[in-house]
Amino acid sequence: MATDDSEFPRPRQATELFGHHAAEAALLDAYRSGRMAHAWLIGGPPGIGKATLAYRMARFVLANPNPSAPQVERAASLAVDSEHLVARRIAAQGQGDLLVLERVINEDTGKLYTVIRVEDVRRTVSFFGSTAGEGGWRVCIVDSADELNAPSANALLKMLEEPPPRALFLLVSSAPGRLLPTIRSRCRRLDLRPLATADVACAAAAVSGRQPDEADIAAAAMAAEGSVARALALLDPDAMALRRNVAALLDSLPQPDPRALHSLGEALTRADQRTFEAFVDLVNAWLSERLRRGRPDPGRLARVADAWDTFNRAARDADTYNLDKKPLLFSVFGLLADTARG
């Protein structure tokens, strides 16, 4: 879902990675070994740094194209100086050897498309078919693979099946298990865990230019369940109030108070983009918890997965087409009530 993050650095601009040291070391070791997998599937919950890690790896490979170079052997991390030409080009979206597949703006509506289109994925054919500008590596980041539809997923699969030499694909996904099995089988998995609360506080403080021990930073980090994006959203007072109201309604399922639903629907209608995304995050967190709870029951898991798909599709449509959020809220809580009973 699109976010107006103009006041915060995007993953392509981020110079720090908080937590995920083991995952970073796995990528660095694989690169140094000379047996680098051509495709990596970086999975984990939303907002924990998956795209940041993908861009960090892309910068390192493009800045250090020889895996056996002394500086690669000595490297303790994938960090690249922010003033390095490659880092500056990537931050400015001007690095010719990096292709990013993501949702783009629909010029007719001024909104993001709801999916990564097949015509965008087909750009990989000419991208990997042309000569690399520097060092011979070409890198493609898919952010996120969850937003591929069937045609675009199949187009990407064709490239993964027959990768050109010195090609690197970095697929970011919050739900790797829902990708095509054939895509998963052609990628090396790298699963990231939610960040520790201290790491969330440090990351949120660094992004917002504050100190991690400030009371509201600490409170947001505690409530964020390992997600920096969620912590940043929660720092907004309106988002904090909405979070409390949504949490209370989720706790009351399967019989939420209709008056509280009406009140929340009014608040959601007036909410800005970041507050609406906080609402989406909270519902997804509740659904994720339903997936983790209790004994594995294929029927129950299928119902929760269907609820996840239905809700996120409806939320994307409401965001893309600027639909009234109140009907969305009522339909979502009806869906969640059915899920809670199951």
Output the tens digit of pLDDT for each of the chain's 342 residues.
Answer: 333 444 556 899 998 999 999 999 999 999 999 889 999 999 999 889 999 999 999 999 999 999 999 999 999 999 999 999 999 999 999 999 999 999 999 998 888 898 999 999 999 999 998 777 666 899 999 999 999 999 999 999 999 999 988 999 999 999 999 999 999 999 999 999 999 999 999 999 988 888 988 988 998 898 888 999 888 877 877 777 887 899 899 999 999 999 999 999 998 888 877 778 778 888 988 888 887 775 667 787 888 888 988 998 999 888 877 889 999 999 999 999 988 886
Q: Supply 97's token pair.
A: 């050897």
Q: Residue 98 has what pLDDT? A: 97
Reference 12, options 57, 65, 47, 63; nearest CA is 57
Q: What's the pTM value of the predicted model, to 2 decimals?
A: 0.76
Give, in order, the Cα–Cα distances in Å from 71 to each of 61, 84, 146, 314. Answer: 12, 14, 35, 48
Give, in order, the Cα–Cα distances in Å from 45 to each of 139, 230, 283, 295. Answer: 23, 11, 13, 21
Q: Which are the contacts of 337, defined by CB distance < 8 A and separation ≥ 6? A: 253, 254, 255, 256
- Alpha-carbon span 133 to 150, nearest angstrom: 32
Q: Residue 1 has what pLDDT? A: 39
Is CATH 3.40.228.10 correct for 21-191? no
Q: Residue 4 has what pLDDT? A: 40
Q: Which are the contacts of 256, defined by CB distance < 8 A and separation ≥ 6? A: 249, 333, 337
- Alpha-carbon span 17 to 10, nearest angstrom: 12
